[in-house]
A and B are shown apart, each in its own frame.
With several copies, the nearest count.
Chain A
Amino acid sequence: MDIHEYQAKERFLAAGIPVPPGEIATTPDEAESIASKYGGPVMVKAQVHTGGRGKAGGVKYAKDAAEAREHATKILGMDIKGLRVEKVLVTPAEDIDTEAYVGVLIDRSTQSATFMVSAAGGMDIEQVAETQPDAIRRLAVDPRYGLLPHQAYWLANFLYEDPGLVKQASKAIAQLYRSFVDSGASMTEINPLITTPDGKVKAIDAKMSIDDNELFRRPEVAAMRDSSSEPPSETKAREAGLSYVKLDGSVGCCVNGAGLAMATMDLVKYYGGEPANFLDIGGSSNPDKVVSALEIITSDPNVRAILFNIFGGITRCDDVANGIVEATQRIDMKVPIVIRLTGTNEEKALEILEDAGFSAYTSMDDVVEKAVQLANG
């Protein structure tokens, strides 16, 4: 789960990281009054869960409160990569001497939280990694010891020469690790970590993604979820316990298992179609889940055909077939459905489905080809 810049900054502040003040505005009036409270020039920053806000015009410098109002008027309601801006952060503009990057993420190869720091801040770190790999210093944090003081110092020492800045940055890095762990994060970054002309180190931007698996034991973090920033269909899927990702194609996919779901999407493409979504309904034959899945898929106006691909392993195929039949009776279907069911008790399942009037298949290729035909036809 991504949280907004202003929320990440709250987490940072709680850990002691130096973050400039800032307040959230949802209207131009609010933006103006926050800016006039701060007095000097401010930044008006769109709060959306995507990178590239700046390039999209979502981050603006305002020399005074009137200009802050103007910018807020433009930014609020703006569409950035399909996401509508509902909030802006208004924060005093800082004098910047240098910009560095400090990030922590879960690294698969070292099986641990791993720092990346670079003096080339303010840029996309992946681009830095590709073009100037030597400009990044990495450190895998041994989970048995946590981040040790000399390691924080070693990272900070890569960013600055000045002992005072190194000391401040060491502290901020140690605090960032604390914030990462305490938040149950899977990624957090400060980009840029700036130095000011008067020798202060400050975090002026903040990103954090929370490990979804941590949310159950961190209600205060879970409460930071902003459903307004995701498609309503994804909110609904999450609440129904389904894994769902909306895409732009016309073939709705309903599959059990994430790997098989991806393979099904790929096969749609292989046969000349475009998948409308990723959807994993899990191992259950519960009609309620199937109903939710169908409601979500059919709420997408692009969907022209729906494809079920179910591999009955432990779950018996006849149970799943009954679930599908019951579910489709409970909602009004406007697009054709084709179903592939294979595995335990597949003959019985095919009978149930055909009796209910569905096109039923046992081969994955056949069902996908048919669904693409229906969607494209």
Chain B
Amino acid sequence: MSIFIDSDTKLVVQGITGRDGSFHTRQMIEYGTQVVAGVTPGKGGQSFDGPDGVEVPIFNSMDRAVAETGANTSVIYVPPAFAGDAILEAADSGVHLVVAITEGVPVLDMARAHAFARDKGVRILGPNCPGLISPGKSKVGILPAQIVAEGPIGVVSRSGTLTYEAVFQLTSVGLGQTTCVGIGGDPLIGTNFIDCLAAFEADPDTTAIVMIGEIGGTDEQDAATYVNAELSKPVVGFIAGQTAPPGRRMGHAGAIISGSAGTAEEKMKAFEDNGIAVAKRPADIVGLIQDALG
């Protein structure tokens, strides 16, 4: 099992003909993801040449792509100026999951897109996220496939390469993953820690969870309370940004300590107070997971 995506995932790539879109479409097809359609307005009727002779039909719009291919998930690689509209189009098309990779989407565009997705009952992952991968089943986004392996660990993170670091270490010691989810580094994201924790709790194959947070906001604190109240499975946590100065954005739009709120200390304390084992260094994550699994 896995969460959010699996071998039934039928993916449409919005922005399939762009530089990033075409590169990652190839990567996803190579991994075995069922990429059933691409969307680029004005290029409907053409097709995308994937690896191994795979041809992906291109449509002008999401409604056609979904109607003609039965896609249930979309991934968005379109530039920030159009990403907000692309998310609205996806949420309106009938897919149930929209993975928004694009970095730099204006936050007010996202406020509207999230409201629209709530109205439509559609899950958004991201924006500004690496996507997700369910090893051996499906990969949607940009996560490097070679660092993952099938196994019992659920990984959820606000970061990209820091997640790879953790996943790589898990895989190195033989701890594979059910699903690795990057929820994104923006202030307004569609899927948060709690959504992923709930899904991992419900997934019978997941036995332990790694949660990687960073400075900014209170998502980790809320997640910690949730873990304490609702989760039966062990959770290991890590927070990046102990040395970050207040008021400065640390790369991610959402990674900023506002006044005294959202510090790493606060988050680590919330983890400890709620029974989450806290890794002091990324290298400690593996050991703590092994302890938790006994």
Contacts and interface: CB of A to CB of B under 8 A. Distances in A.
B89 A150 contact: yes
A363 to B, nearest CB: 8
B250 A157 contact: no
Nearest to A144: B115
Contacts of A157: 60-61
A352 interface: no
A111 B238 CA distance: 24
12 contacts: A108-B218, A109-B222, A111-B114, A148-B92, A157-B61, A163-B60, A166-B41, A213-B104, A245-B248, A259-B160, A342-B168, A344-B144
A211 B110 CA distance: 12
A260 B157 CA distance: 12
Interface in B183-241: 185, 187-188, 212, 214-215, 217-219, 222, 238, 240-241
Given A112-B115, A243-B249, 11 more contacts: A149-B88, A149-B89, A257-B159, A258-B214, A258-B252, A260-B161, A263-B165, A263-B238, A266-B281, A269-B243, A311-B161
Contacts of B215: 262
A52 B143 CA distance: 43
Given A126-B259, A314-B142, A344-B144, A150 B92 contact: yes
A301 B36 CA distance: 54
Contacts of A256: 161
A111 B42 contact: no
Contacts of A260: 159-162, 165, 240
A61 interface: no
Interface string B81-120: 1000110110010000000000011111011101110010
Nearest to A244: B251
A90 B107 CA distance: 34
Interface in A107-149: 108-109, 111-113, 126, 142-145, 148-149
Contacts of B290: none
B158 A213 contact: no
B253 A212 contact: yes
A78 interface: no
B62 interface: yes
Nearest to B158: A259
A220 to B, nearest CB: 16
Interface residues of B, number: 78
Contacts, number: 209
Interface string A236-265: 000000010101000000011111111101
B283 A313 contact: no
Interface string A307-339: 000011110000000000000000000000000
A180 to B, nearest CB: 9
A184 interface: yes
A270 B61 contact: no
Interface residues of A, number: 61
B61 A259 contact: no
Contacts of A262: 162, 214-215, 240-241, 243-244, 250-251, 255
B288 interface: no
Given A150-B61, A263-B240, A267-B281, A343 B168 contact: yes
Interface of B: 23-24, 27, 41-44, 60-63, 80-81, 85-86, 88-89, 92, 104-108, 110-112, 114-116, 119, 142-144, 146-147, 157-165, 168, 185, 187-188, 212, 214-215, 217-219, 222, 238, 240-245, 248-255, 259-261, 264, 280-283
B16 to A, nearest CB: 16
A80 B215 CA distance: 26
A269 B242 contact: yes
Interface in A145-161: 145, 148-151, 153-154, 157
A113 B81 CA distance: 20
A186 interface: yes
A300 interface: no
A364 interface: yes
A149 B85 contact: yes
A268 interface: yes
Contact of B60 (A108, A166, A186, A214): A166
B255 A270 contact: no
Interface string A164-176: 0011000000000
Contacts of A342: 168
B251 A278 contact: yes
A343 B147 contact: yes
A267 B108 CA distance: 35
A163 B244 CA distance: 46
B159 A211 contact: no
A268 B241 CA distance: 12
Nearest to A243: B251
A280 B252 CA distance: 10
A259 B161 contact: yes
B280 A270 contact: yes
Contact of B243 (A167, A243, A258, A265): A265
B108 A148 contact: no
Given A216-B80, A258-B252, A259-B162, A266 B111 contact: no
B250 A364 contact: no
Contacts of B110: 111
Contact of A364 (B23, B44, B283): B283
